[in-house]
């Protein structure tokens, strides 16, 4: 697993990727199903499987009083 903190860090020769976007603030059953599906699609095409998440949690910006505990 590689972690990139910005798009500028991505290598220019990175192969195609299957990307899921979300707040994986607790990897429950639904999250695991999404991640498995992304991996299956990526494997089928010999691409990378990626998860794009957010820091800070978007709720912290738009409704700080409702930010879930991480």
- 14-35 pLDDT, tens per residue? 889 999 998 877 778 998 999 9
Helix (H, G, I), strand (E, B) or coil at 44: helix
Tell me which residue of 23, 33, 20 sits closest to 68, measured CA to CA.
Answer: 23
Mean pLDDT of the chain: 89
Q: How far apart are CA 41 and CA 59, in angstroms?
A: 30
Asked, for residue 5, whether it belongs to a domain, the answer is: no
CA distances from 35 to 8, 9, 12, 55, 62 (A): 24, 23, 24, 19, 26
Asked, for residue 49, whether it belongs to a domain, the answer is: yes
As for how many domains the chain has, the answer is 1
- pLDDT over 80 (residue 68): no
Q: What residues make up the domain containing 27?
A: 17-66
Looking at residue 9, its pLDDT comes to 93
Least trusted range by pLDDT, from 30-34, 44-48, 50-54, 64-68: 64-68
Q: How far apart are CA 14 and CA 27, in angstroms?
A: 26
- pTM check: above 0.85: no
Asked, for residue 11, whether it belongs to a domain, the answer is: no
């Amino acid at each position: 697993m590689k972690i990139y903190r910005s798009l500028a860090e991505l290598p220019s020769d990175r192969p195609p990727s299957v990307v899921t976007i979300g707040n994986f603030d607790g990897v429950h059953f639904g999250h695991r199903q999404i991640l498995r599906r992304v991996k299956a699609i990526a494997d089928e095409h010999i691409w990378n499987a990626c998860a794009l998440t957010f820091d800070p949690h978007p709720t912290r910006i738009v409704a700080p009083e409702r930010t879930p505990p991480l």
